[in-house]
């Protein structure tokens, strides 16, 4: 159940820092914001599973520890990810022209 909820939500939480990096609001898409979003998502999903599934009982401390460990692993795995291009960069304009010409 956790995996079915986590996959679509993690796509969104992983895209937010990259979008903010592209428009220049944050310096890096692999920084603390990514860690906080992934940790928060994991914690909220674990608490939702605990709340709505009668047969499962998870302590809040256990959810928090699992979320911190999961967030740390995710952060270290994404440390070397390529940063998205800035909105004013040459790479971004090439991508825009590539998709704009197909209309």
Per residue of the chain (103 residues), give pLDDT as tens. 888 888 999 899 889 998 898 888 888 888 899 899 999 999 999 999 999 888 888 899 999 999 999 999 998 988 888 888 888 888 878 877 888 755 4
Number of folded domains that form the chain: 1
- Residue 36, domain extent: 2-100
Query: Is the CB of residue 42 less than 8 Å from the CB of residue 6?
Result: yes
Query: Is the CB of residue 64 less than 8 Å from the CB of residue 41?
Result: no
């Amino acid at each position: 159940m956790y995996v079915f909820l986590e996959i679509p939500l993690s796509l969104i939480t992983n895209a937010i820092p990259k979008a903010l990096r592209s428009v220049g609001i944050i310096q890096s898409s692999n920084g603390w914001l990514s860690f906080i979003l992934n940790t928060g998502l994991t914690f909220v999903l674990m608490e939702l599973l605990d709340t709505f599934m009668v047969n499962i009982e998870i302590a809040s401390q256990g959810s928090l520890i699992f979320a911190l460990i999961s967030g740390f692993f995710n952060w270290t795995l994404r440390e070397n990810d390529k940063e998205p291009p800035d909105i004013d960069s040459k790479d971004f304009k090439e991508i825009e022209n590539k998709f704009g010409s197909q209309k």
